[in-house]
Every structure is written in structure tokens, then in C-alpha cells.
Chain A
Amino acid sequence: MLKCDLLIDSNDIKSTILKLKNEDDYSILLDITIIDYLKFPDITPSRFAVVYILRDTTFKNQISVKAFIDDSSLEIISISDLYGSANWAEREAYDQYGIKFKGHPNLKRVLNHHQFIGHPLRKDYEITKGQICTESDDLLDEMNPLLISKGYTPEDISDLMLLNMGPSHPASHGTIRNFIALEGETITACVTEIGYLHRGFEKSCENHTYSQIIPYTDRLNYCSAILNNIGYSKAVEEMLNIDITPRAKIIRVIIGELSRIIDHLVCNGANMVDLGGLTNFWYLFAPRDKAYDLLSKLTGARLTNTYTRIGGLEFDLYDGFNEDLADVLKETETAINDALSLIAHNKIFLDRTQDVGVIKADFAIKYGISGPNLRAAGIAHDLRKDKPYYGYENFDFDIVIGSHGDIYDRMMCRFEEMRQSIRIIRQAMRELPDGPININAPGILLPSKKDVYGNIEGLMNQFKLTFEGIKVPKGEYYSSTEAGNGELGFFIVSDGSGKPYKIKCRPPCFYSLAAFSKIAEGGMLADAVVTMASMNFIAGEFDR
């Protein structure tokens, strides 16, 4: 049975994690989550358990640490002083499960609204029980202490301009709310509030079969839906201990990289709109639309593709796919060159992006920032290289890193990563093996329609899979892939039935957004807008 790597006593949480951090170099906190065992078939020492997932600085090892929480106090020690990323992670655990973290500086809700009563991810909270919110939180309970900690007296505070940027603001590209205190045009304090697009992904997962969840994963990072499909399917397949076919692996690589290209095109295109360069947007969106044509031919949908299946893929490549793909890649290259020709030597662009919104490497590690944002800070961490899957180790491609960690580096990293993805796709197309796209496993994949209508075994198989779902062996498991925004992880707890007992998604931009206020403080308001765009926050992903 798959289990967390370490099971410790809840009193030893701090000492164990401190030891892991200091002695074994586990300096990245990937995620914190809670498991509610109320309806679990096995008897457990107590109702709730906390799980910490950590990664070390070689990026090759990860460890999961689990501790049961005392039922009477529902309280454990906070580790937010050890890891910056723990701050929001613990707030989310408190919000969703009602576990208190002793010593947390600001333990308040993060995803649900401030008038919400109860903790929705507890097993005794009914899924459809919505609660109306009549007005937004004024956030002064966070802003005032923050300003006082920066040395402002109450009289000074009344001289500052307090401004809400979001949650309906064009520059936030979604539903982020930044509540900022301004001195002139300089941001002196920033409080970020999220949850405006919290759609209950994790609760919905607990009420659907493993296959039904794939469409929900589309809508996490909707700019690269297929990368989410792949990340989720891979996690479930690893729990089932199945190996997908060589052809399916390579197709997942090809379509996954194409999704990464689309993700980066949207990010850079939108970023340059914020900088005032609308032409780049038209340039970059043209190949994106072409790629969507290809995806809709292949998967039937432009944006939310639901392309993978547990154990394989929905469709094989269509006739003429090679030519279409070659076209898309060629147009993408042209668009990248066109866009770069407008900005590479453009003084306004350089002035606005260089040494602005800087993320230092140690800061990025502390806050659990991953993906292009981390690489732009100069750290060569890419799960495709550090923990290769689907044969990424066989492809010739480079990790793109920056030197300053500023907006310029992040944008240029994304441009270059698109070129690297194109390299991968071209190699993969040459090596694409023939053969089936799905494994032969009746308990996992639906039978062919011929069998469903032709014999009773096929019919029963279809019926059982549809109504009961894929039976995933009991256990708990964390798996991650390199998605458009960084490390996308899924922590799955199975009770042996066809529906997951719990799924926790580790959304990469949840953690980079948690760090955003620190990056924006001290900078100019207009720079914060561009910084935000360059970090590619996708509301569907961080709010889930």
C-alpha cells in the first residue's frame, strides 16, 4: 500500500521538519494538506491528519511527512517561520478543514469568503451547501498591522492612499485582488486576497469517479489544459501501477509541449498588452488560434480538451496531423521572431522590464516558486530534467535560465522555452512509434463499442466502469509534472473505491501569488501590473 514516507507524532512536526530542512536540505515546502478520515473504511488514530510534502535542493528527492492531529484540540504547530510558502498553505488548510496552526501570524480564510461558516472539505460538510456572501472583506485587519509593522503610525496611515486593484481589474488577468497602500505611486504595503474563483475542485473530485475528474482538471490552468490532464492521469496511473504504451507517452509529450507553447504565448502576449504593446498580442495569438484548430480537430475542443484517459488517450492522431503540426510550429517560430523584433531592442520595453519585479533565487526557493519564474531567477530546476517522465531524458533540449529574475528574464525565458518545446516536439515526431494508444486493461479503460453492444462481458465492463469507476488501490500518493507554470502536483488518497477519497492539487501559481505582495512592495504601481502579468497567475489554478 502506498503511504507517506514518514509518519510522525504531531508534537514532533517542527523538530522533524527542521531536521529535514537543515540536515537533509529539504528547503522547498511544496504543499501542506489535511486528510479527514471521518468516512475512511479503516480505523485511524484520530480524525484528521496533516501531510507536508517537501523537496530537496537537488530537486530529485521529495518526501511526504504525515502526522495525526489530536481530536480534542485540532491544533498543530505552524511552520510558517521555516518556509514562506507555509503561510498560505496553512491558511488554506485552516479554511478548508478548520485545523488551527499555533504560531501562524495571520490564520484567516484564504479561499472561502469571510462570511462563510464551517469548513467545506470536511467529510460532514454537504457539497451543495452554498453560503451567500453579501459584501467583500475590507482587508483592513491585514493592512493596518502590516503598515504598523513597517513603522507607520495611525496618523501616517490616514495620509496614505489605499487602493483596491481587483478583483475585477483588467490587469489582474483574472480575479486577484490586491489591496495596496500607496505613497505617491510607490506601493508601501500590499495585501493579496484570492478565492474569487474558488470552484470547489477538490470537493467535486471526492464526488466523482477518477475518469470524471479529468474534465475538472482542464479548468485548473485553462491556458494549458492538457498539461493538467497529463499530470492528473499520470498520478492515477502511478497509483494503479500501470505503464502506458510507448505511443501514448510520445503523444502526451508532443501535445503537452504544444500546450506549454500555448500557455507561454498567452502569458507573454497578455503581458505585452499590459505594457502597451498591443501588436505583439495579435502576433502571438495568431499561431495560438492555429494550434487551437489543431487541438479541436484532435480532441474536439479548443480550450478544455480532456484529452487523456487513465491508461491512455481519448483519440489517436488524425490523418494530416503531421502537416498541421508542422504548420503550427512554423507559425509559432515566426510569431516569436516577429514579437521579439518589436521588443528586443526597444528602449521603452527594456526600461520597463529590466531590474523590475525582481525575484531572487533564495526568495523563490523559500516561497516554493517553481517553473519559469524560478528558472528566470537563475535556478535550473525543471522536473522534465530532474525527475524525467515519458522519456524526457531522451530528448535533446535545454533548461532555460535567467540571470536577474526580473520581468525581462521571465518573459525571455518563456520565449526561449517555447523554442525548446518546439525542439522537443520535432524530435518526438521523428520518433513517434506505431502501436496502440491505450493499454489493454478492461478494469481501467472502456471497452470498444463493438463489445458493449455485442457481448455481455463488454456491456458489464462498460456499466461497471461508468457507474463504479476505476478501482484504485488503497493508499496515498503524491506525483508531480512540469506544467506551464511549474510543479503541478496531485496528492491523492484512495480508499479502494472508484472515487478518490481526497485529491489535493498543488497549484504552482498559488505559491508564486502568495509571494507576490513581497515582490510588489517598494515598487511602482505600474510595475506591479507588469510584474503580475509576467508571473502568469491563472485564477483557475490558484483558486481551484
Chain B
Amino acid sequence: MGLGVEANLGDSIVTTKLDHAVNWGRTYSLWPMVFGTACCAIEFMAAAGSRYDISRFGAEVVRFSPRQADLLIVAGTISYKQAPILKKIYEQMCEPKWVISMGACACSGGFYDNYTTLQGIDQIIPVDEYIAGCPPRPEAILDAIMRIQEKANNESILKDRIKEYKGILDA
């Protein structure tokens, strides 16, 4: 039941803030692009499988084109050789976009503290949520998606999301 003008609109029309409507849509239809490189990608497959069923969170439409996705899940070790590709993929995604760094390797290089492994993807691209584990359990992936949903729910279409970020590959 509405007040004021809304009271005259009847039951067939709902009024809300544009931000709320847009955020509601974004929150429950995250389209992930899985940048899967290693073991974590296999666990992501389990999260997508029937047991853990990521579609309960509206995030089952896995895109393999970054242009169609708004959630980048970096699942696996990123080497220095892979880093420019990850950056390119990230840049191809349209705003608004979120990044989950899945697993120890993506977060910090994990136990690969050596000449070939990037010591955390946040040196290349900004990260919204980190998931610990080697590899994390599927529940942890779902938890991170829920945290992203909370963030998406608090966005505003008037606010500019783009943050100041400068990684080691940004000249």
C-alpha cells in the first residue's frame, strides 16, 4: 500500500528507487567469467555441479567471454607469463565488475614463492574478495559470491565505481 501519489496507482504498479531495482537485478544475476588456470578451477567446477549448485545464487550463467560477464573469478595460479592476459581479460569486462581472487595462489602466490609465480593478482588488477584455501572448498566460493552480492546491493548507479589503481603492468 502506497502513500501520496502511489496510493492512486493501484496494486499493479510498484514504485522503488532506481538504485534498488538495478542492484536487485545485478545481485541475483551475477554472470561469472572463470579465469581458471589450475586446481581451483576444478573446485569451481564442483561449485557449479549439482551438489553445490551455484545457480541457487543466480550466478550459474558462466560466461567465457569477459565482455558478457560482470564477475571475474580468478581460480588458480597466475604466472608472470599469464599476467598480461589476465589484465587484458579484466580490461575487456564492462563496468560494473567485481573480482574474486580464489585460492592461495591467486591471493598471494601461495606456496609457489619462486621465479615464475606472480605473488598475488592484486599486483595486476584490483580485487574485491579473496578466498583462502588451497584449493578452497565449494562452500567458500559460494560465501565469496554472497559477499559480492552484498557489495553489489550497496552500489549506486550515480556513483563511479572506478577506483584509483595502478598495478605493476600499468606503465
Contact = CB atoms under 8 A, between A and B. Distances in A.
A347 interface: no
Given A204-B114, A222-B39, A282-B49, A130 B80 contact: yes
Contacts of A174: 36-38, 41
Interface in B37-75: 37-39, 41-43, 45-46, 49-51, 64
A540 interface: yes
Interface stretch (B2-10, B83-91, B152-160): B83-91
Nearest to B80: A133
A339 B145 CA distance: 31
A223 interface: yes
Interface string A105-134: 000000111000000100001111111111
B85 A168 contact: yes
B35 interface: yes
A130 to B, nearest CB: 5
Interface string A195-213: 1111110011000000000
Interface in B70-124: 76-77, 79-86, 89, 105, 111-119
Interface in A260-312: 266, 270, 281-282, 285-286, 288-289, 292, 302-304
B40 to A, nearest CB: 9
A195 B81 CA distance: 7
Contact of B112 (A111, A204, A285): A204
Given A113-B81, A168-B85, A302-B137, A130 B118 contact: yes
A120 B168 CA distance: 22
A73 interface: no
A539 B38 contact: yes
Contact of B168 (A132, A219, A286): A132
Given A128-B114, A170-B64, A302-B137, A199 B79 contact: yes
B84 A196 contact: no
Contacts of B135: 302-304
Interface in B126-171: 134-135, 137, 168-169
A135 interface: yes
A378 interface: no
Given A198-B116, A303-B43, A286 B50 contact: yes
Q: How large is the interface on A (under 10, 10 to 19, 20 to 34, 35 or more residues)?
A: 35 or more
Contact of A200 (B37, B46, B116): B116
A134 B169 contact: yes
B46 A292 contact: yes
A281 B81 CA distance: 31
Contacts of B112: 199-200, 204
A346 interface: no
Given A133-B80, A198-B116, A215 B111 contact: yes
Interface string A489-521: 000000000000000000000000000000000
Contacts of B35: 168
Nearest to B83: A133
A199 B119 CA distance: 11
A225 to B, nearest CB: 8
A282 B82 CA distance: 30
Interface residues of B, number: 40
Interface of B, secondary structure class, is loop
Contacts of B86: 168
A132 B115 contact: no
Contact of B85 (A120, A167, A219): A167
A169 interface: yes
A22 interface: no
A402 B110 CA distance: 41
Interface string A82-124: 0000000000000000000000000000011100000010000
A112 B168 CA distance: 19
Contact of A197 (B46, B77, B119): B77
Contacts of A133: 80-81, 83-84
B73 to A, nearest CB: 12
Contact of B84 (A111, A135, A170): A135
Contacts of B119: 130
Contacts of A302: 43, 46, 135, 137
Contacts of B45: 266, 270, 285
A197 B115 contact: no
Interface string B25-40: 0000000000111110
B117 A196 contact: no
B118 to A, nearest CB: 7
A455 interface: no
B37 A196 contact: yes
B39 A127 contact: no
Nearest to B62: A170
A282 B51 CA distance: 9
A136 interface: yes
Contact of B115 (A127, A223, A303): A127
B38 A131 contact: no
A125 to B, nearest CB: 7
A448 B117 CA distance: 36
Contacts of B49: 281-282, 285-286, 289
A175 interface: yes
* Shortest beta-carbon contacts, A-B, top 7: A200-B114, A222-B39, A170-B64, A113-B81, A285-B49, A200-B116, A289-B51
Interface of B: 35-39, 41-43, 45-46, 49-51, 64, 76-77, 79-86, 89, 105, 111-119, 134-135, 137, 168-169
Given A199-B116, A540-B39, 8 more contacts: A128-B115, A133-B83, A135-B84, A197-B82, A215-B111, A219-B38, A222-B39, A282-B50
